[in-house]
Structure 1
């Protein structure tokens, strides 16, 4: 099982949904980086369950412990280990599916691959694992802040309710103003009503998280297999429930002609710029200095509070009943996860870029 991501700034996560805890080991973090523990806790708080009526009611404080790699408030350059204890497991909520495969979960595929699975909340396949990524992403964000690079994500779509405004017109300071994390407050209220309606129907719904990365200088990325947008796509597709990734003009770009889609280049007196940004800040797999923006599609949460047909480990037809505490829509809590994975990608790519030319 691959539990590691990154080349120079590398993370390895561990733990299960209903185990003693989860955590992450970060290798390659430069020494001397001030570690703001309050900021790390704030980021974990944005992802944690039990935030509102439109999220799961599992109660986890996600209070973390730094086990190594920090001395007198700064990184030492050695492995940085962060541990997050689990506090509110209800393993009995999953006893009814001990030998049953839940539709659209990883139950059957994990069983097919390993011959054994932790049915308590999905074990390692649970989105609980992403808390470790958010902790690591917070450290990456602290590094990027010193480089003038910022990562912002927000909910841009729930079901067929889509925020049509371009990201340039949005006030990202409003993203945290509502539990759905949409910076357009009018649209946010409609999204909340929709999610609450779906919850009362004992069902779930999907959505889209959009992200914008600003301040990345031109020249970050790799030209062939590790293209910057490919690494971003891989990182986003590794997040639970993600079904799609597009950057720049994405799939809508196919409707344009080349004469419309090409980003004309000019010199503004300080830097080489493009008049438009259909490329999404990446050309040839390498950043061009413009904003990097992308969209991540999340499916409806697979656990629904309704009976569904399935089979058990013996291949017999069974009924799976929805129980436990689950999100009716995952996208509000996915916002900090998307930001964390983007920050990890950019940090790793930035450090890889340092060695490519003599300064």
Structure 2
């Protein structure tokens, strides 16, 4: 079973990702992993922290001579900003006078709920772990999941479809979305330059007014066959698993599979994807085809062979340069919410993190279905299944 976990705080010494369950023999591309981390750091509207950090993956275990060895993989990502926090957040007792309290909780953040839960006098420790900086470790883990999926010719990519009120007003092709991964400059990860310019204007307005802005990103899984996930048990449905994976990301407040939102206000004849069959033409791994993909590649909790499409709805970042009203932890008096150096817009970065969560979910289900202790065994099992559904 593929499992992963993360450790580390926003201003701690480093972030850690631990991945176990990957079969032996998966080729590990260090440049690819570091490029994934680089993509997470980019995007128009990012804050000063991203000018400090230069995230790279230091692989500590589980990889030798460029391939996985079937053992747990430990990855460390250094926090360069740690040098400014060594006396503020020491592991030992340290000097309490140097503590930097988050003295008033930020509306929309975990500050107040976390302080109440753990009985902290302020929200510093809550901020440190609840911060979206943690998603860096998820991206490192997700890079390994993508390398595994590459063995099966399955790809995962994302793009931004909305920032504030500016929206991409057409469908994007897989080729357009995939091309964004290799761009040397990442603005807002939109496939359409005119739509991206409107999105940029939305970010500029939020920046000028001391505000923050959210949006919608879309993750697409390309090349996955029919049959991943199941309707047999509630917690094994693919759409539910992907929804939980994407919803677990910081600031994501809603998840949509395919055209789920518009489908709720549509007639069945307008929503469901009619099925056709061709003896000569193959759509992916089968001869069953669909002209549309409103279902987002999932029907009844099972992948149907079309592209799997998941959207995440990202709220604006909670830290505002023009803070909202709050209450001081010590005096209980009305004050302004605390301010920590932050971003204005992180929708493209959230899309990269969501790619990782989706890749980890798909890789886990693929390993459960096809098995194999080595990459070669996994591929042989997979090829046998593909032959089965081709003959159906």
Question: Taking structure 1 as the reference length, what is the TM-score of the superposition?
Answer: 0.91
C-alpha separation between the residues in 1 aligned to 2:332 and 2:246? 35
Q: In structure 1, which of residues 317, 339, 342 is the aligned counterpart of residue 355 of structure 2? A: 339
Provide the rounded CA distance (Å) in 2 between the counterparts of 1:237 and 1:141: 20
Q: 1:254 aligns with which of 255, 264, 267?
A: 264
C-alpha distance in structure 1 between counterparts of 2:11 and 2:221, whole Å = 34
Aligned to 1:132: 137
2:134 aligned counterpart, secondary structure = helix
Corresponding residue number in structure 2 for 1:152? 157
Structure 2, unaligned runs of 5 or more:
89-97, 372-380, 386-392
Structure 1 residue 325, shift from structure 2 partner? 2.2
In the alignment, is the contact (CA less than 8 A) between 1:305 and 1:322 conserved in 2? no
Aligned partners of 1:179 and 1:190: how far apart in 2? 12
Does residue 171 of the first structure (1) align with residue 176 of the second (2)? yes
**2:39 counterpart of 1:46:** yes
Question: Residues 116-135 of structure 1: CA distance to partner in whole angstroms, max 9, x if unpaired?
Answer: 37616811100010000000
Q: 2:201 aligns with which of 184, 190, 193?
A: 193
- Of 293, 301, 304 in structure 2, the residue corresponding to residue 277 of structure 1 is 293
User: 1:187 Cα shift?
Assistant: 1.3
Note if contact 2:218-2:309 (Cα within 8 Å) is conserved in structure 1: yes
- Give the TM-score, by structure 2 length: 0.83
Report SS of the residue matched to 1:295.
strand
Q: Which one has a larger percent helix, Structure 1 or Structure 2?
A: 2
* TM-fit CA distance, 1:290: 0.8
Which residue of structure 2 lines up, in the alignment, with residue 84 of structure 1? 77
1:180 is aligned, of 185, 188, 192, to: 188
- 1:319 corresponding residue in structure 2: 335
- CA shift in 2, pair 1:161/1:95, >3 Å: farther
RMSD after superposition: 2.4
In the alignment, which of 219, 222, 225 is matched to residue 227 of structure 2?
Answer: 219
Aligned pairs, how many? 350
The superposition leaves residues 264-310 of structure 1 with CA deviations (integer Å, 9 ceiling, x where unpaired) of 22222242223322211111111110111121100011100113321
Please tell me whether residue 99 in structure 1 is matched to residue 108 in structure 2. no
Structure 1: gaps of 5 or more residues: 1-7
- CA shift for structure 1 position 145: 1.3
Indicate the residue corresponding to 1:308 in structure 2.
324
CA drift at 1:60: 0.5
**Paired residues of 2:323 and 2:339 also in contact (CA < 8 A):** no
Q: Is the 8 A contact 1:305 1:321 kept in 2?
A: no
**How far has the Cα of 1:181 moved from its partner?**
1.1
When residues 53 and 343 of structure 1 are mapped into structure 2, their CA distance, relative to the original with a 3 A threshold, is closer
Alpha-carbon separation, structure 2, partners of 1:156 and 1:73: 36
- Given the alignment of the two structures, is residue 65 of structure 1 paired with residue 73 of structure 2, yes or no? no
CA contact (8 A) 1:41 1:64 kept: yes
Q: Does 2:127 correspond to 1:122? A: yes
